[in-house]
Structure 1
Amino acid sequence: MGSNESLENLLRSGVPPDRKECEGLMRSALDRLKDAHTCTLSFSSRFDLAYNAAHALALTALRLSGYRSDKRYLVFQCLIHTTQSSKIQVRLFALCHERRNLAEYEGYMDEDDALLEQLLESTSQLVGDVQHRMN
């Protein structure tokens, strides 16, 4: 399925991306990612910060492409079309979304340090890709 076919299921905003909005999302993502690297924080805090940084970056990429979504998980699924993210990275973000939901809605958080490190690394890679798109 091509990029346009996949994205057409989303709400086309009809207006050019709002630079100020995208800059705010980037600032939020960068702040959260920086804080997620603070090893003195609890695992759940670090995971939450890293996940939300990734979400803000994915949302920025989607909005830069002229789309909006009211479904949180869709911004990760669209990364394959809105950035240079690999299918492996998209699957990682989807897994982290599932883990985030378990923690948020069922109170279950499996402390997986390897997963957190992969999330931090993939989110850091996503920063460069989205920043490049903003320029």
Structure 2
Amino acid sequence: MTLENLYKTKALHKEPADKLEFNGLVQSAVDRLTDAENTDLSYASRFDLAYNAAHGLALAALRSAGYRTDKRYLVFQCLAHTCNISKSQIRTFSLCHDRRNRAEYGGYLEQDEALLHELIDNTQILLRSVRSLSL
């Protein structure tokens, strides 16, 4: 579905982009991504930081396109229309969203260092893509 189709189904809401909000989301993501790379932190903390950095960047991309959503997972699915990243990268973000939910609501976080590294690497790629967006 396109962003406009998601708007028509009420999954997205139109809202003008805000440069200050965009910059804040990106800076928060940069800070979190930097902290996620700190191997002195626990796996759970690093995963949470990396996931939230990715989510913030995906939200910044959606907001730069003039949309907002109440559905947390949707910002990752919208990346196909807001950023120049691969379907494989989007699948990684979606998998991490599922793992985050399992930890947040079920109390279980599977430690998978390879997935965490993939999340951090893909979030760095997403950061470069989001920084190329113009407001």
Letter in 1 for 2:44: S
Matches within 5 A, 1:18-57: 18-57=18-57
Letter in 2 for 1:86: S
Partners in 2 of 1:29 and 1:109 — Cα distance?
A: 21
Q: 2:45 matched to 1:76?
A: no
Partners in 1 of 2:129 and 2:29 — Cα distance?
A: 13
The SS at the match of 1:34 is helix
Structure 2: 5+ residue stretches without partners = none
Partner residue of 2:132? Answer: 132
**Most deviating of 81-90 and 49-58:** 81-90
| Paired residues, number | 133
Q: CA deviation at 1:112?
A: 0.2
Partners in 1 of 2:51 and 2:85 — Cα distance?
A: 16
Structure 1: 5+ residue stretches without partners = none
The SS at the match of 1:39 is coil
Partners in 2 of 1:131 and 1:8 — Cα distance?
A: 28
Letter in 1 for 2:80: I
Partner residue of 2:14? Answer: 12
TM-score norm. by structure 1 comes to 0.93
Could you say what the CA RMSD is over the residues aligned between the two structures, in angstroms? Answer: 1.3
Q: CA deviation at 1:85?
A: 1.4
